[in-house]
């Protein structure tokens, strides 16, 4: 299993909206191939989509996962790697991203 948490830490976001009823994992990057690898590695049903170009920025792509099955896969994937003691340092979710993930996970579990 590849450790994508470093990538998620830098490029991913966890959203809880509509009074804690909608959960969404979004990851955005300029490398579509990298996002395809993340999507396939996590076995997500969400598609890799083009994001509207703003100003003179590079074309970016995103995965926006919100189905219950996809959210469970994201949580399971991150937690499975989190529990492997040999992944340390920059691969760990850190700071605000870790707080965001924990709130996201807690809210999802309460909803389920």
Q: 80 Cβ partners below 8 Å, 6+ apart?
A: 1
The CB density around residue 47, as the number of other CB atoms within 10 Å, is 12
CA distances from 85 to 75, 91, 101 (A): 17, 11, 19
Residue 79 sits in a domain of what CATH number? 3.10.28.10
pLDDT at 19: 81
DSSP H or E run through 2: none
Roughly what angle, to the nearest 10 degrees, separates helices 32-42 and 68-82?
90
Report which of 93, 64, 62, 89 is spatially closest to residue 77, judged by C-alpha positions.
Answer: 93
Q: Can you give the residue range of the structural domain that contains 63?
A: 5-111
Q: How many domains does the chain have?
A: 1
Per-residue model confidence as pLDDT tens for the chain (112 residues): 455 656 777 788 999 988 888 999 999 999 999 899 989 988 999 999 999 887 888 899 999 999 999 999 999 888 876 665 544 444 567 788 888 999 999 999 998 7
SS3 19: coil
């Amino acid at each position: 299993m590849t450790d994508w948490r470093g990538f998620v830490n830098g490029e991913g976001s966890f959203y809880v909206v509509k009074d804690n009823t909608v959960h969404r994992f979004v990851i955005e990057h300029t490398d579509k191939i990298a996002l395809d690898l993340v999507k396939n590695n996590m076995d997500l049903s969400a598609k890799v989509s083009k994001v509207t170009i703003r100003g003179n920025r590079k074309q970016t792509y995103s995965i926006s996962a919100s189905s219950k099955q996809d959210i469970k896969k994201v949580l399971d994937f991150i937690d499975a790697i989190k529990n492997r003691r040999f992944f340390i340092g920059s691969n760990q979710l850190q700071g605000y991203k870790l707080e965001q993930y924990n709130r996201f996970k807690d809210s999802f579990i309460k909803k389920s």
